Amino acid sequence: MIRREALLSALFDPILNWRLLPGSHPFPGPDGGTCINEAALVAAGLPYRAIRSSADCPPCFSVPLAAYALGLNDAMPDDERPRLMVFVLRLAGSADDAAIEDARTAHLVLEGVRRLLPPVLERAGLRPHAAACRSADDLGRAVTVARHAAWAAGSLAEAAGREGAWARGATAAAAARAARSATEIDARTAADAAEAAALFWPGAWAEAVAILDEAARIGRQAPALGLDDAAIRLEAAKAARHGQAHAPV
Amino acid 229: pLDDT: 63
In total, how many domains does the chain have?
1
* pTM assigned to the model: 0.84
4-20 average pLDDT score: 51
Amino acid 17: pLDDT: 61
Spatial separation of the C-alpha atoms in residues 11 and 90, rounded to whole Å: 14
Amino acid 126: pLDDT: 97
- pLDDT value at 12 more than 80: no
- pLDDT value at 32 more than 70: no
User: Between vectors from CA 242 to CA 69 and to CA 83, what angle results, nearest 5°?
Assistant: 25
Q: pLDDT tier at 98 (50, 70, 90 boundaries)?
A: very high
- pLDDT value at 249 more than 80: no
Phi, psi of 15 (to 5 degrees): -115, 0
Ramachandran region, residue 234 (left: φ > 0; alpha: ψ -120 to 50; beta: rest): alpha
Sign for the CA dihedral angle at 200, 206, 207, 211 comes to positive
Spatial separation of the C-alpha atoms in residues 48 and 28, rounded to whole Å: 9
200-222 average pLDDT score: 93
Residue 202, domain extent: 2-245
Spatial separation of the C-alpha atoms in residues 212 and 71, rounded to whole Å: 11
90-115 average pLDDT score: 96
Report the share of the chain in percent with pLDDT over 70: 78
Amino acid 47: pLDDT: 84
Q: Looking at per-residue confidence, does 57 or 1 come out higher? A: 57
**Average model confidence (pLDDT) across the chain:** 84
- pLDDT value at 9 more than 60: no
